Structure 1
């Protein structure tokens, strides 16, 4: 298999270039965002996508010949080294060919990075109306590759069913976001809810907002288990709000203590469990979560993730929590997020429903159930 690296302004453009130059059978080995190498240390250069692909090919496609590439640098293909006739052997021939092919591959890879390609606008491949929808999504923070994927599906459905692209795309966005999974009591049986999430995402504050909602709106008798024995003043933080709510709290210091805490809350309608906010790739932390879930026979799990976090960090967190077979997502700090595209990104990479959104620090007001129609409209607004 041969490897080759491409760079482009966005993933859609990169995919088109790869398809044109390598073919549809290329396999993406890796992709990342990098900065163009311009200026000292590239501090103020624009970002672009670097995609490395693998492919099987017998010969260099004609489209990659230097005379076919605009603005290319001349390529000198390595020639076989001159060897006196009496020293030339089949073994020597093979070695020379192998060296020549290796050098050729390196030069072609360098050429692909050096060639200055004209800017391509993926949205221009769509009809006018869908092109406008593409531009709105990208402007509102939807990753270009995902926006392109959604527009392709929109075009296909609109053409085959003679449907309005605006209506089609709204429904596609709503389907991707999923239906929220609200916290609901179970009649005649206590329900146990657990919140987990990386450090610094506002998990404990979110739990307190949910507790207010359950006590004052739903009129439920709730208990709170504090399993966060790592964070300084976590116990005092929750205890202060529990006094206002007139509800009980028990702090545990290891997962095995959860059983006794739940026995003490046998008369409650619902128990909320607050876990430690730690880095999501901490193996001991993940093992402790699994113990809490098993010991507490947890009914619903909510992972809290910040909308103001980078896509790379979000993807890592989702990967680390993948051992949980069934969970919903609470998106925190949405007031700090620069755009709405993060909601689609989270729904896409997790495959899990977005259930609640927190919109500020005010307790208990700044939390609401996710509205897929509202988010879809905000992503498509002009």
Structure 2
């Protein structure tokens, strides 16, 4: 069955287009009216939309009435039977006489009509459901001809979590090649294999590992405005200082945003770590040299629009002066995939080493993150799951992200016992 949509300014024009293309056998499945065009609602015009198809067997109105009329159906279905049964005694001979008899007869008749009507309405609804399922199945096969029927549920689970169609097809193809005829029908086995396949397709998590030689590890966080760099810096500093008992120093070059320095200074005072505020690349180098005994130096940079080449060039000069051991690109999971990919393209000139995904607790779907990681071909160092400092940060386990896609409810539940130290080594 081929569904087609027609739009016109009036219902008459839309119907004419349906008749012209589909002919007298056209069946209208849905109609709606909406406004289109204009600017901010001004100058928009009404548009009539009709969804129609052809080749569907539809009952004639007379046949529909007969099907929904219980007395008619009973009469037609029992005609032959009545001809073979000998005449029954008159009704008056079988029913009690008087008012009580009439009330009893009317009650039985009313009950029969109610039960019969309900039965036939249920049958009609069953037929409608079956027809809708067939339409959906045909439409599904047309749009995704390469996806096996047994794996379609798993495929749509990936798509609903905003995994790209290209990556979803690749995952399903790998899963299909590893499953036998009996295993492919096991939904639990399929989901486990989908999560495992996603995990193996991407680099494992690479959280910060401190030097064992006594040399300071310098980490710079870069990214667009509003992704949570300053809060992430505070979480990292608090965890390494309070939980790992390491010497941590903070440097910020974010002097553009109102109260950015005050926010980081408040965190620095709470966790008792030194903070330096710099205005130039030369001052940044001097600030780093003034912290020779630190195990970890974290640099908070100003947010830069991926479309501002001048500011990105300025940021590059700061990073050149700092010569950090690692540069982590901070991205918000609340942004759509096109914005994330555009950001990656522009910030890639800074020689990004790792990715940090923030605001995972606010994300609608996490599937797009896999497309981003595959595009940049960089491992995730950390993910943040809230505003609490220092709790809401953990190593970027690709395995847990994969489980969040396959089991959206279970995967998002975080237990303190299952969250490793943020300074741990390689984590799947």
TM-score, with length taken from structure 1? 0.66
SS at structure 1 position matched to 2:349: coil
For residue 150 of structure 2, what is the aligned residue in structure 1? 129
| Unmatched 5+ stretches in structure 1 | 1-7, 9-36, 44-69, 72-117
Give CA-to-partner distance per residue, 1:153-190, whole Å, 9 cap, x none.
3324547xx99755543232002342111112102111
Q: Hey, what's the Cα distance between the residues in 1 that align with 2:400 and 2:150?
A: 21
User: Once the two structures are superposed, what CA deviation does each residue of 1:172-220 show, in whole Å capped at 9, x if it has no partner?
Assistant: 2002342111112102111100001100111111110111011011111
Q: 1:320 deviation in Å?
A: 0.4
In structure 2, relative to structure 1, the CA distance for the partners of 1:265 and 1:312 (3 Å cut) is: same
Match of 1:171 in 2: 196
Provide the secondary structure at the position in 2 that maps to 1:185: coil
Instruction: Spell out the pairing of 1:139-178 with structure 2 (5 A cutoff).
Output: 139-158=160-179, 166=191, 168-178=193-203
Identify if the C-alpha distance between structure 1 residues 324 and 154 changes in structure 2 by more than 3 Å, giving closer, same or farther. Answer: farther
1:185 maps onto 2:180 in alignment: no
Correspondences of 1:272-287 after superposition (within 5 Å): 272-287=298-313
Unpaired stretches in structure 2, ≥5 consecutive residues: 5-31, 39-52, 55-137, 409-428
Q: Does 1:342 align with 2:393?
A: no
Q: 1:195 aligns with which of 212, 221, 238?
A: 221
How far residue 134 of structure 1 moved from its aligned partner, in angstroms, is: 0.5
Residue 215 to residue 279, structure 1, CA distance change in 2 (3 Å): same
Cα shift at 1:378: 2.0
The alpha-carbon distance between structure 1 residues 143 and 283, as it changes in their structure 2 partners (threshold 3 A), is same
Match of 2:242 in 1: 216
* Cα separation, 2, equivalents of 1:146 and 1:137: 9
Report deviation, 1:138. Answer: 1.7
Q: 1: distance between equivalents of 2:150 and 2:276?
A: 57
Distance across 2 between alignment mates of 1:208 and 1:239: 10
Q: Which of residues 36, 44, 48 in structure 2 aligns to 1:41? A: 36
2-structure distance, mates of 1:313, 1:135: 23
Contact 1:123 1:134 (8 Å CA) reproduced = no
Q: How many residues align?
A: 274
Moved more, 268-277 or 283-292: 283-292
Flag the structure with higher helix content.
2
What secondary structure sits across from 2:196 in the alignment? Answer: helix
Q: Deviations over 1:43-86 (max 9, x none)?
A: 9xxxxxxxxxxxxxxxxxxxxxxxxxx99xxxxxxxxxxxxxxx
* Aligned residues of 1:174 and 1:373 also touching (Cα < 8 A): yes
* C-alpha deviation, 1:354, in angstroms: 1.6
Cα deviation 1:21-45 (Å, max 9, x = unaligned)? xxxxxxxxxxxxxxxx9842279xx
Per-residue displacement from partner, 1:224-272 (whole Å, max 9, x unpaired)?
Answer: 1111111111111111111111111110111221111011111211110
Cα offset, 1:381, TM superposition:
2.4
Instruction: Indicate conservation of the 8 Å contact 1:191/1:269, yes or no.
Output: yes
TM-score, normalising length: structure 2: 0.59
The structure with the largest alpha-carbon Rg is 2
* In 2: Cα distance, 1:139 partner to 1:176 partner: 20
Are the equivalent residues in 2 in contact too, given 1:255–1:288 (CA < 8 A)? no
Counterpart residue number, 1:257: 283
- Distance in 1 between the 2:373 and 2:179 partners? 23
SS class of match (1:301)? strand
